[in-house]
Amino acid sequence: AAVKGGLRFQVSAALKEGHVTPTELCQSCLSLIKSTKFLNAYITVAEETALKQAEESEKRYRRGQPLGVLDGIPIAVKDNFNTAGIETTCASNMLKGYIPPYNATVVQKLLDQGAVLLGKTNLDEFAMGSGSTDGVFGPVRNPWSYSRQYKEKSVPKSPSEDEESNWVITGGSSGGSAAAVSSFTCFAALGSDTGGSTRNPAAHCGVVGLKPTYGLISRHGLIPLVNSMDVPGILTRCVDDAAAVLGSLAGHDPKDSTTIQDNFKPFELPNLTDVSKLSIGIPKEYCAPGLSSEILAFWSKATDLFKSAGAKVIEVSLPHTRYSIVCYHVLCTAEVASNMARFDGLEYGHRSDVNKSTESMYAATRREGFNDVVRGRILSGNYFLLKQNYEKYFIKAQKVRRLIANDFVKVFGSGVDILLTPTTLSDAVPYMEFIKEDNRTRSAQDDILTQAANMAGLPAINVPTGLSERGLPVGLQFIGQSFQEKQLLTVAKWFEKQVKFPMIQLEVKRHDHSAFQHQKSASFS
C-alpha cells in the first residue's frame, strides 16, 4: 500500500477516501518502529492496544463517521505523560513498572479524537537534560545520523570508524518523540517543554516543535518537572499538523487550575501570502556566545527573506536575557526538589529493600531510583529553598523572572508581532562528543535560546530551515505573544513554505518491504 508519510492532512484525506485504512497505517508504523529499533526512540510499544484502536477507527471510517481529523492517525507520547494501563517510566528506575490508573488530559483528548497511540517515547530521566542521553533506557539516536544527507557529508576520522560511533544526538529532553516523528514511525508526537525540551530536539531532528502558551493546554497527568514552566509540546512534520493537534488539545481543564478559563476556538491556518504588514523582531542578545557561524548565517538569510517579502524587520533588545539561564536554574531546581518529594517508594514505583526505618527506606529508594542528574537538581533546589537562602535566591530569581517577562511585553508592545531567533547554538553533535561534558553544563549551554520563552510563558515554535554543512537539520525559532498561537503558526507556515526543508532520506537496513515503500513514498509529499 502506498502510504503517504508526509503531511497528516494528506493522510487524513487518504483515510477518508479509503486509499489506506487505519489498520494498514498502524501496522506500517509498528513495523517501521521495529526496523528502527536501533534509534531507541520508544520505551514501550503498545502494539495490541494500538491495533485495537486502529480497528475501532476503521469501523468509524467505514460508517463514514470519523471523529475528526485525527481519527486513525498514529501518534506517540513522551513517557512522562500518564497513560492508563500502559507503563509510564519517565526513563527512571523510580517508575520502572509503574502503570498509571488514568490518562493525562492531553492523552485522553487525543484518544477521544480517535488517534492511535503507538507507544511511549524515550527521554532524559524525568525530562532533565538537553540530549535525551540520560535516561535509564539509554540514549536516543538522531535518525538523521542514518540519512544519506549526513552520510554523504561525514568524513570518517579513521578507517575503523563506522556509523555506530558517529551517530548524533537528538537533543532533549523530548528526543524520543522528535526521533519518532522524524523517522516516520508516527505522524505526531507529544513532548514536554520546560526550558526548550520540545523545540531543541525538534531543531536537531528537523521537525516542527511547538511550545504553546503556558495555561493553554492542560498539564493534568504530565508528571511535573517545573509546574510554573512545564507545557505539553507538539511535534509534527509540518506546521498545519501542529495546528490541528493544538486544536484538539487546547482549552480549559477543571483538573488543572493553571489553565485559562476562556473558551478556545480551534482554527484553520490561513495561507498567508502578504507579509508586508508583519513586524519581525530580531533580539540582539540572542546572538549568544557559542552560536555557530552556520546558524548565524541561516538566521541572517531568514531575516533577509522576510525583508525582501516586504515585512518590517527590526532589531530589538531583551536586556535581561543574560540573566535568564541562572534565574531559570534556581527556579527550576527549586520546583524540581519539591515535585520529586513524592517519590518515596511507599505508594508506587520503586521501593528499596532497606527497611530498618522509614527514613532509611526513603533515602535508599531515592538513591536507587534517581540518577545523579535528578539527585543533583534536588539537592540544589533544596538548598535554594532553605529559610536562610530563600530570599537571596528564590525570591530574587522570581523578581528577575518578572523582568525577563517584561522585556518581552515591552518589545511586543512597541509594535513587534513575532520574534525570530535561532533555536540551538549548532547542529546536532555526535554522542561521543556530547557526553564529554556533564548534563548540567550541557543544559546550561543548550537551553540558552529557548528557556526565556518558558520563563515568560510565551508560545514558541521551531521550524526546520535547512541543512548544515554536515548534512544535519538546522531550525529557527519564532516566539509569539501570549495566546496568539494563530498568528505565530500562520507566520511559521509561511516561512516553512519559503524554505522548503528537505525530506530526510533515511537509509535503514530493511527487512520488510512495506517499510521501504513507506520511506520511498515519504519523499513524494
Beta strands in 80-171 (DSSP E): 116-121
DSSP 308-361: HTT-EEEEE--TTHHHHHHHHHHHHHHHHHHHGGG-SSSSSS---S--SSHHHH
CA angle at residue 171 from 127 to 468, to 5 degrees? 165
Q: How far is the CB of 329 from another protein (least distance, A)?
A: 16
Residues with catalytic roles: 78, 173, 197
Q: How far is the CB of 361 from another protein (least distance, A)?
A: 9
Ramachandran sector of residue 506 (left: φ over 0; alpha: ψ -120 to 50; beta: rest): beta
Nearer to another protein, 340 or 428 (CB): 340
Q: What end-to-end distance do the CA atoms of the chain give, in Å?
A: 16
Nearer to another protein, 365 or 424 (CB): 365
Let me know: does 58 contact 22? Beta carbons within 8 Å: yes
Q: How far is the CB of 254 from another protein (least distance, A)?
A: 7
The site for another protein (CB under 8 A) is made up of 226-228, 254-258, 261, 334-335, 337-338, 340-344, 346-347, 358-359, 362, 382, 385-387, 390, 394
Q: How far is the CB of 257 from another protein (least distance, A)?
A: 5
Return the closest-CA partner of residue 169 out of 142, 198, 150. 142
- DSSP code at position 86: B
Nearer to another protein, 385 or 499 (CB): 385
Give the whole-angstrom CA distance, residue 185 versus residue 169.
Answer: 18
How, if at all, do strands 279-283 and 231-236 pair? unpaired
Give the whole-angstrom CA distance, residue 279 versus residue 479.
Answer: 12
Let me know: does 132 contact 124? Beta carbons within 8 Å: yes
Nearer to another protein, 295 or 334 (CB): 334
Nearer to another protein, 358 or 525 (CB): 358
What sign does the dihedral 177-180-182-187 (CA atoms) show? negative
Beta strands in 29-70 (DSSP E): 42-45
Cell numbers standing for residue 13: 484525506
Cell numbers standing for residue 188: 505526531
**CB within 8 A of 34, min separation 6: which ones?**
none
**CB within 8 A of 436, min separation 6: which ones?**
none
Nearer to another protein, 42 or 343 (CB): 343
Q: How far is the CB of 387 from another protein (least distance, A)?
A: 5
Nearer to another protein, 48 or 347 (CB): 347
Q: How far is the CB of 347 from another protein (least distance, A)?
A: 6
Radius of gyration of the chain (CA): 22
